[in-house]
Each structure stands twice: as structure tokens, then as C-alpha cells.
Amino acid sequence: MSLIGSSPGVFLGLTLLFMGGCAFMTGQALAGTWRPAWQLLPYGLLLGTADRFLAFALFHQPLVSPAGFLVDAVLLTVIGGLAFRLTRARQMASQYPWLYRRRGLFGWRQIAPDN
């Protein structure tokens, strides 16, 4: 059995699409309420646990799979982190336009003061 479980379709559909969407919304919600980025870790672990349970209950995947859980939790935390950074960059540029400008998709830069 591989790290993603016995079926790549289950991994793609359940983990990446469904739970990945949940992780994306979690990252947006944390950034939108100005919470610190470290809070993504417990939410990523909870989403990984939910993913393992749904794979077990719906698709007869192994419930206790430490490697599978680790892959799921890390992947979902990374997706949440990307959404967090994307949302935070948009927030900084839109809420503080006199201080910051967007710098790429995930960043912002401080505007140089006029001398």
C-alpha cells in the first residue's frame, strides 16, 4: 500500500479536492480574522484526521495509517498556508493602501516614504 492509500482516485477526490477546499477556506478564515499563522497547524491536523476517517468510512481505506495521516495532514496544512498567505497579502494591500502594495501573489512591500 502506498502513502496515499490504495486508490489514487480517493486521494485526488477526497483529499485534494474536498478536504483541500476545506483547508483553503480554513486558511482564508484565519487570515480574514487576523489570527496568527501558527493556528493553521492544529486545524491541519484536525482536517487530516477527518480525511482519514472519511476515507475509512466511505472507501474502506485503513483508518490507522500513520504515513497516510502524515501525508494528508501536511498537504492540507500547506494548502491552508497558501490560502492564508494569499488572503493576508490581499488584506495588507487593500486595507493599508498608503503603506503597502502587492508584490506578487503571496507578498506585499512597503511603499517608500517621500523625501
- The residue ranges of every structural domain in the chain are 8-110
| pLDDT at residue 104, as a whole number | 93
In this structure, are residues 65 and 52 in contact, taking their beta carbons and an 8 Å threshold? yes
Give 39 or 8, the one with higher predicted confidence: 39
Helix (H, G, I), strand (E, B) or coil at 105: coil
| pLDDT at residue 36, as a whole number | 97
Kindly report, residue by residue over 45-78, the tens digit of the pLDDT.
999 999 999 999 999 998 898 998 999 999 999 9
- Comparing C-alpha atoms, which of 3, 9, 14, 8 is closest to residue 55? 14
Residues linked to residue 109 through DSSP beta bridges, in sequence order: 101
Q: What is the pTM of this model?
A: 0.91
Q: Per-residue confidence at 113, pLDDT binned at 50, 70, 90?
A: confident
